């Protein structure tokens, strides 16, 4: 578990005044996630935190999901990688402060990579790490969750839905965040039974890609 129990809940008075940035402590994070314990441990369950800070909740969710991956797949590297990547692909976050988004991505990567290395040492694949970094770039975003745009560019926040297909392939579909929220009136994101009938069409639909090939070029 990579979390500093003594981590300060406040970075500066200015950040508290400007953005209400007060981080939740680990005990409360765990207690709140225990309210949705089964979902928090399910590898494929989709979580979105619309004001994630540097990822206190998302880190705990990833740890719980990876505990489930370890339990079932630790003895087979390719399966651990595949399900570990599904765990990462189902975690989403937004924060209005860019440094929080960067910090959150780093934190989630370090949790994944720490476990990956502990299990498979020098057999760890650069392809797997690149896929994880790519997913974190796509899923953990710098954005304003109230007006649904990037604070600098003012372009709409776009999230990617990732679905596992035929074992090792991933399907990516991009959706405009604002539309998802207005359509569902809640932050429930995608239907993970694969049924997208209840939400609108994606703005972009990508070809299937192997889970170890993400981020090789800009196209996917
Ligand atoms: C109370 S902190 C909570 C952080 C984290 N969820 C936690 O529990 O540790 C609120 C966070 O919301 C972010 N925030 C404030 N206004 C926001 C907005 N309009 N859109 C996205 N994030 C926002 C702040 O930067 C801060 O990181």
Query: Which residue in the block uniquely carries the two structure tokens 């372009």?
Result: 155
pLDDT given for residue 197 in this prediction? 44
Q: Rounded to the nearest whole angstrom, what is the distance from the C-alpha of residue 209 to the centroid of ligand 1?
A: 33
Which residue's CA is minimally distant from atom 15 of ligand 1? 19
Which residue's CA is minimally distant from atom 4 of ligand 1? 53
Contact 157, 149 (CB under 8 A): yes
* Burial (CB count within 10 angstroms: exposed 0-12, middle 13-18, buried 19+), residue 194: exposed
Ligand 1 mutation pick, 13, 27, 49, 51, max ligand atoms within 8 A of CB? 51
Which residue's CA is minimally distant from atom 6 of ligand 1? 52
Q: Rounded to the nearest whole angstrom, what is the distance from the C-alpha of residue 69 to the centroid of ligand 1?
A: 29
Query: Which residue in the block uniquely carries the two structure tokens 């209400």?
Result: 20
**Interatomic CA distance for residues 29 and 56, integer angstroms:** 7
pLDDT given for residue 117 in this prediction? 98
pLDDT given for residue 145 in this prediction? 96
Which residue, 192, 190, 171, is CA-closest to 179? 190
Pocket flag, ligand 1, residue 60 (CB < 6 Å): no
Residue 203 CB: number of other CB atoms within 10 A?
12
| pTM listed for this prediction | 0.90
Residue 13 CB: number of other CB atoms within 10 A?
8
pLDDT given for residue 198 in this prediction? 47
Pocket flag, ligand 1, residue 22 (CB < 6 Å): yes
Q: Rounded to the nearest whole angstrom, what is the distance from the C-alpha of residue 160 to the centroid of ligand 1?
A: 21
Q: Rounded to the nearest whole angstrom, what is the distance from the C-alpha of residue 94 to the centroid of ligand 1?
A: 8
Pocket flag, ligand 1, residue 20 (CB < 6 Å): yes
- Any residues with CB less than 8 A from the CB of 60 and at least 6 apart, and which? 3, 26, 29, 30, 33, 40
pLDDT given for residue 202 in this prediction? 85
pLDDT given for residue 111 in this prediction? 98
* Strand partners for 164: 170
pLDDT given for residue 188 in this prediction? 47
Task: Return per-residue pLDDT of the chain as tens, 220 residues.
Answer: 334 556 788 999 999 989 988 999 999 999 999 999 999 999 999 999 999 999 999 999 999 999 999 999 999 999 999 999 999 999 999 999 999 999 999 999 999 999 999 999 999 999 999 999 999 999 999 999 999 999 999 999 999 999 999 889 999 999 999 888 876 544 445 555 545 444 567 889 999 999 999 999 765 6
Q: How many helices (H) and strands (E) does the chain have?
A: 8, 7
Pocket flag, ligand 1, residue 96 (CB < 6 Å): yes
Contact 127, 107 (CB under 8 A): no
Q: Rounded to the nearest whole angstrom, what is the distance from the C-alpha of residue 21 to the centroid of ligand 1?
A: 6
């Amino acid at each position: 578990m990579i979390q500093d129990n003594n981590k300060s809940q406040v970075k500066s008075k200015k950040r508290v005044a400007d953005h209400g940035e007060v981080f939740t402590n680990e005990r409360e994070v765990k207690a709140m996630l225990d309210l949705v314990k089964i979902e928090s441990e399910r590898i494929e369950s989709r979580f979105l935190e619309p004001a994630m800070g540097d990822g206190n909740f998302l880190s705990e969710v990833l740890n719980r999901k990876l505990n489930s991956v370890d339990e079932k797949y630790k003895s087979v590297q390719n399966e651990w990688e595949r399900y570990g990547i599904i765990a990462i692909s189902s975690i989403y976050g937004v924060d209005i402060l860019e440094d929080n988004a960067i910090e959150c991505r780093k934190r989630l990567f370090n949790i994944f990579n720490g476990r990956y290395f502990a299990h498979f040492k020098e057999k760890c694949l650069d392809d797997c790490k690149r896929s994880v970094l790519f997913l974190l770039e796509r899923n953990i975003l710098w954005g304003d969750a109230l007006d649904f745009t990037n604070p600098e560019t003012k372009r709409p926040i776009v999230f990617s839905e990732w679905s596992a297909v035929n074992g090792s392939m991933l399907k990516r579909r991009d959706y405009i965040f604002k539309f998802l929220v207005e359509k569902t009136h809640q932050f429930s994101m995608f239907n993970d039974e694969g049924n997208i009938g209840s939400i609108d069409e994606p703005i972009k639909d990508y070809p299937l890609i192997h889970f170890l090939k993400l981020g090789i070029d800009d196209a996917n």
